[in-house]
Amino acid sequence: MTAYAGPADPPRVGGRWIGLLALANLGLWVGYYGPLQVLLPNQVEDVAGAHKTTVLGVITGAGALVAVVAGPVAGALSDATTARTGRRHTWTAIGAVTGLAGLALLAGQRTVLGLALCWCLAQAGLNMLQAGITAIVPDRTPVRQRGLVSGWVGLAQSFGVVLGVVLVTSVVTGSTGGYLLTGVVVVLAAAPFVLFTRDPAIGPDDAPRFSVRSVPDAFRLRPREAPDFAWAWATRFLVQLGNAMATLYLLYFLRDRVHHPDAEQGLLVLVLVNTAATLLTVVAGGVVSDRTGRRKPSVILSGYVMAAAAALLALWPTWTGALVAAAVLGLGFGVYLSVDQALITQVLPAARDRARDLGIINIANSAPQVLGPALAFPIVSWLGGYPALYLAVAAVTVLGSVLVTRIRSVP
């Protein structure tokens, strides 16, 4: 299989288009991580008390299961959409508004069931939004510019994590204000991209047909027909599994293992350190891979660096060790964010179904959020605690990096 560059590789996009796309991604990751890193763990601790780790795992697992379904289905619907508002922009807008609704409803929940249902709604909306702004990259950008674009998108993701934590720890206090503010940011960040960039409508003859019977096709990986796409999926899945296992209990790790006097502020400091390190590599990594045309070496190296960061947390569970690990992780994650996404756009099986296939890739982001808690909880509770958890994270991440070598069509 050869990398797809389109019937006619699209013309280069300008800085304004990249900037508005990055802004939409910034809002998306504020919506994901403001609640996930601070608001939801604190709310779960208030509701569940000593059972917080189990309940948090169940709620985030349920939300991730919804994301596993919502991403591919929204992608398939996006491919089939012929509305004048554009097939990508239509679902970007629907997703942003749905995400706001879910986050706003979370603000008032005081039961485990309420938290789970509203988090699932927020996940459904945010994954619709992600389907739209992810698929438009291969639609509108040439192959030789995708590392640059992915680098800026990755930079926005890193800033989104920081901004999400800052908003809910320093700008507002309490879960109600935090959830409402993050939801509003999601919508306001997506709106300029939807309103001020082009997403030309396609005709019915150019769009794949979507029906209830075609839903299972939105989840088919087709390893025999597109082996490189399947290997790219597997590498993304394993790296994201390691990330899910590592981040779920990070706030509790700071409180219970490191014994940080103010775990929320400590988490904010770690996020800032991680982001500063990510800035050093995220755009540069994508630009270098564009100029050399080589993606795999950068993805492999970044995976090894991220695994080293996890090992540091296992072997050096102190505040100083956490700071060093955050910096090391940022250096590796910056390269991974930009180059891996660019690599994936080059192994998509067909242009007609780009959003569906990127939705399948998004399963590799979402499914680990289901499996990660199922693996992390018994490790933390019965199989060695946090050191064992982070050593397992390192092993999973290394395995994901090794599998990149099986991709043949991209150097």
- CA atoms of 190 and 132, how far apart (whole Å): 10
Helices (H), 248-384: 250-253, 263-292, 296-315, 319-345, 354-382
The three-state secondary structure class of 12 is coil
Name the nearest CA neighbour of 119 among 303, 366, 380.
Answer: 366
pLDDT at 320: 96
The three-state secondary structure class of 291 is helix
Please tell me whether the overall predicted TM-score, pTM, comes out greater than 0.75 for this model: yes
177: burial class by Cβ within 10 Å (0-12, 13-18, 19+)? Answer: middle
Dump pLDDT digits (tens) for 285-323. Answer: 888 888 888 889 999 999 999 999 999 999 999 999 999
Name the nearest CA neighbour of 340 among 281, 397, 295.
Answer: 295
Residue 409, phi then psi, degrees to nearest 5 = -85, -10
pLDDT at 211: 66
Q: Looking at the domain that runs over 15-202+215-406, which CATH code has it been given?
A: 1.20.1250.20
Name the nearest CA neighbour of 245 among 70, 113, 395.
Answer: 395
**Tokens linked to 170:** 């320093």
What is the CA angle 159-354-10, rounded to 5?
80
Find out whether 70 and 218 touch, Cβ atoms under 8 Å. Answer: no
Dump pLDDT digits (tens) for 62-81. Answer: 988 898 889 888 888 888 88
- CA atoms of 338 and 397, how far apart (whole Å): 17
pLDDT at 311: 96
* Cα dist from 322 to 40, 158, 270, whole Å: 22, 18, 7
**Domain residues of the chain, as ranges?**
15-202+215-406
pLDDT at 341: 82
Ranges of the chain with pLDDT below 70: 1-8, 211-215, 217-218, 351-352, 369
